[in-house]
Amino acid sequence: MIFCRHIFFACATLTLHIFGQHNKSLKNESPAEREGAPNYAKLSTWAAHPLKQDFSDSIPPYAKSDIRDTTIDVFFIHPTSYLKNLTTKNWNAELANEKINKDTDEGSIKFQASVFNQHARIYAPRYRQAHIKSFFLRDKPQSVSAIELAYSDVKAAFDYYVKNENHGRPFIIAAHSQGTLHAIRLIKESIDDDSLEDRLVCAYLVGWLVSKNEFEALKPCMSATQTQCFVTWRTFKSGEVPKYIADEHGSAVCTNPITWSLGPNETKAQHHLGAVGKSLDEVYTKSVNIVLPKEHGIVWASPQAELQSKLTGVDHYHFIDYNLFYLDIRKNVDQRVSSYLLKK
C-alpha cells in the first residue's frame, strides 16, 4: 500500500526542491488586479476558514480528548496541487477548479493544516497557484509571472486577514513547499521587523530552502518553546543528497522536527511521537529515526519496519514532511502557544 497516496497529489512535488534557491528575478509589479483576482471577503475563496466546516477541522481520534481552544490564528499557505493540464495561457490554477480544490482540501488542508487545530482558528486561502512546471522552467517569463501572480493572491489574502479577521490576535504562519516560497516573501514584506512580529507565535516554513540569514529580524527557533522565531526542515531518505542540496554548501537552516533543536544532531525513534498514514487515525508512534547531517541543511529519515512497509512506492519524503512528524508538530504547537501566552 502506498503511504497516504492522495496527499502526494495535493503537495508540491520534488521539483520545488530541485529549484530550491529563491527566485531572485521576481518582478516588483503586482498583478493582483488582473482578471480573476480572488475576493477574500467571500468564504468560497478560502480552503479553510473559521466560519466554514472544512478539512482543517479534522481531529484525529487520539486527540479527541485534547482541550481545544481558539486562542490564536494560523495563516496556512498550501503547497502545489496544480500538477496537470498546463496550457500556454493557463500557468496559474483557476480558483474554481473543483479537481484542484478537492486535491488541496483532502491533501494538505487535511494532513497539514489540521495539525494546528487544537489551539487555532485556521485561515488557508485559495490562490492562483503556479503550475508545477513553473518550477522546472524558472527562466521562462511565464514561470516568473505565474509565481508572481500566485504570490499576489497570498499577499492579498494575508492583508485581508490582518485588516478584517485578526483583531490583534497572536498568529502562526505555516506553509509547505510552494506555499513556503510565498510565506518567506510574505514575512519579509509584511512581518519581519514590523509591529506584526510581536503577534507572531512562530513560523513553520517547511519543504523549502530557508537560508541562515534569510530575514532581517526573525531568527531560527533554538528550542521547543521559543517563540517569535521560525522552524524549517526538508526530509529525505537516509543518506540521500541530491545535487541541488550539495550545491547549497550548508547554507540552509534545518530544525529537528522531534526535539526542535537546530542541526547537526540525531534523534532515535523512541523519542518520535508519531506519524500519520493514509488517514489521520492510522498512527505510527516511535517509528522514525532521524539525522541532521553536519554538511547539509536537511533531515535524513529512517522509518522503522512497520511504517517503512507503508512507504512502498514513495520515492521522495518531501511529500510527507508533515505526515512523518504529525504528532510531534501538534505537540510543539501546544508548547509554543503556551509559552507565548505565558509571556503576555
Q: Which of 100, 108, 106, 172 is nearest to 334 (CA)?
A: 172
Residue 214 phi, psi (nearest 5):
-65, -40
Q: What is the pLDDT of residue 312?
A: 77
For 110-168, what is each residue's pLDDT tens digit?
Answer: 999 999 999 999 999 999 999 999 988 878 899 999 999 999 999 999 999 999 999 99
Please choose, from the candidates 136, 146, 117, 97, the residue with its C-alpha nearest in 3D space to the C-alpha of residue 54. 117
User: What's the confidence (pLDDT) of residue 6?
Assistant: 40
DSSP secondary structure letters along 238-266: TT---HHHHTTTT-B--B-TTT-PBSSEE
Measured CA to CA, the distance from residue 61 to residue 38 in angstroms comes to: 35
Residue-wise burial string across 161-178, b where 16 or more C-beta atoms lie within 10 A, e elsewhere: bbeebbeeebbbbbbbbb
Bridge partner list, 230: 203, 220
**Cα angle vertex 315, ends 310, 320, to 5°?**
65
Question: From CA 307, how far away is CA 222, in angstroms rounded?
Answer: 29
Q: Which pTM does this prediction carry?
A: 0.91
Cell readout for 258 is 522531534
pLDDT digits (tens, 9 = 90+) for 229-264: 999 999 999 999 999 999 999 999 999 999 999 989
- 3-class secondary-structure state, position 299: strand
How high is the mean pLDDT in each 10-residue block of the chain (344 residues)?
A: 39 39 38 71 98 94 83 97 85 95 97 96 97 86 94 98 97 98 97 91 98 95 98 97 94 98 96 95 96 97 95 88 97 97 89
